[in-house]
Amino acid sequence: MSRQSIASALFKGLIAGGLSVAALSPIYAQAEPLKVVTSFSILDDMVETIGADHVSVTSLVGPDGDVHAFSPKPSDAQSLADADLIVVNGLQLEGWIDRLIDASEYQGDIVVASDGIKTRPFEGHHDEDEGDDHGHDHDGHDHDHDHDHDHDHDHDHDHDHDDHDQAANGGEEGHHHHGDIDPHAWQDLENGEQYARNIRDALVKADPDHADDYRANAEQYIEKMEALDAETKQRMAQIPEQNRLIITSHDAFGYFADAYGLELLSPVGINTLAEPSASDMAQLTQQIESSHAKALFLENMSNPALINQLHEETGIAIGGTLYADALTPDGEGSTYLGMFQHNVDTLIEALTTND
């Protein structure tokens, strides 16, 4: 047999043995993982759990980061430009994402993880009182995050881009009005299950070769969420009725409260960019004192000053730290399920004691 016919026979044998031509080509031999960029750490963990070895995930806002107050860097636009897929929460959580996507010239799919969930309107406790002051609340965030005391108009620029809104923000104006939809949907595990289904479907579409793995991983993941959801409902039912009012830095737990039976008050409303005025704080302190709130809770990604101030003024105990809009860099809060478990444990511990 000539050398050529040996090669030919070998080739035919491989084809007959079930190897595709693509598998023989060095270009396809080592498939690169799908490059996914997520807006914040909770989505990062979900995509990693469902995508496993087939994905390489970058999160724009990392652990302990505040997704409300994020200021993208040029390197973030580069991450998007290189991405195969972008996954965002939607519901106007990422007010900064449309400009960033425009800047990156990313042309691929944008997956809105919250698509299809039952949304919850946000009804702030001091809606009516704020009126036209709302814009000032937003400007207030600059000095926390950008050291931008003198550039109050930065805020306005954000909204000059509203006409470029994409699916990520549901086509709504990017402004965070009171009365908006609450974006913190992941704090109800039933919504987490929908996030997982949306992420699974997007990965299957982007990388059909690994569809079976994505489906199997998502199924296991959703089963764990269902189990934790059922367990959480049982455990939260132990909390005495009179202990169910709590105070958190910002209103990140509305979905949690609706699903598992809590009542909430918070100094800054739905968005960490808001800053309560002195009169807001005075009103809130009064409201808390007359409300028999059981405990105050810190958040891993929020400044603790407000809660500490309320603790000093009202004498109400601090019940611990809840993981709100971000995972933690390590430890049990470094996964979505771990974050959830931690929050439930912390709440039960603080609210089932009668002292």
- Closest approach of Cβ 268 to Zn ion, in Å? 9
CB of 40 to Zn ion, least distance (A): 10
Q: Spell out the alpha helix ranges (H) of the chain.
A: 3-16, 21-24, 26-29, 41-51, 74-81, 97-104, 127-130, 134-139, 142-145, 154-160, 189-206, 211-236, 254-260, 278-289, 305-314, 336-351
Tell me the closest approach of the beta carbon of residue 114 to Zn ion, in angstroms: 13
* Pick 188 or 207: Cβ nearer Zn ion: 188
Q: How far is the CB of 183 from Zn ion (least distance, A)?
A: 7
Query: Rounded to whole angstroms, how far apart are CA atoms 325 and 301?
Result: 7
Q: Which residues are within 8 A (CB) of 260 and not within 5 positions of it... i.e. 6 or more apart? A: 188, 232, 233, 236, 344
Q: Report the 10 Å Cβ neighbour count for 17.
A: 7
Integer Cα distance of 5 and 258 in angstroms:
71
Cβ atoms 98, 164 nearer than 8 A: yes
Which of 93, 84, 91, 90 shows the shortest CA–CA distance to 65?
93
Cβ proximity to Zn ion: between 34 and 273 the closer is 273
Instruction: Choose among 56, 95, 101: nearest CA to 77.
Output: 101
Q: Least separation, in Å, of the C-beta of 94 and Zn ion?
A: 11
Pick between residue 54 and residue 68 the one whose CB is nearest to Zn ion.
68
Q: How many CB atoms lie within 10 A of CB 224?
A: 16
Q: For the CB of residue 270, give the shortest distance to Zn ion in the complex, in Å.
A: 7
Q: State how far the Cα of 35 lies from the Cα of 149, in Å rounded to an integer.
A: 37
The residue among 83 and 270 lying less far from Zn ion, judged by its C-beta, is 270
Minimum distance, C-beta of residue 33 to Zn ion, in the bound complex (Å): 30
Q: Rounded to 5 degrees, what are φ and ψ at 161?
A: -100, 10
Q: Which is nearer to Zn ion, 217 or 300 (CB)?
A: 300
User: Which one, 300 or 335, has the nearer CB to Zn ion?
Assistant: 300
**Residue 247 bridge partners (DSSP):** 265, 296
Footprint of Zn ion (CB under 5 A) = 252, 325
In the complex with Zn ion, the residue whose CB is nearer, 252 or 288, is: 252
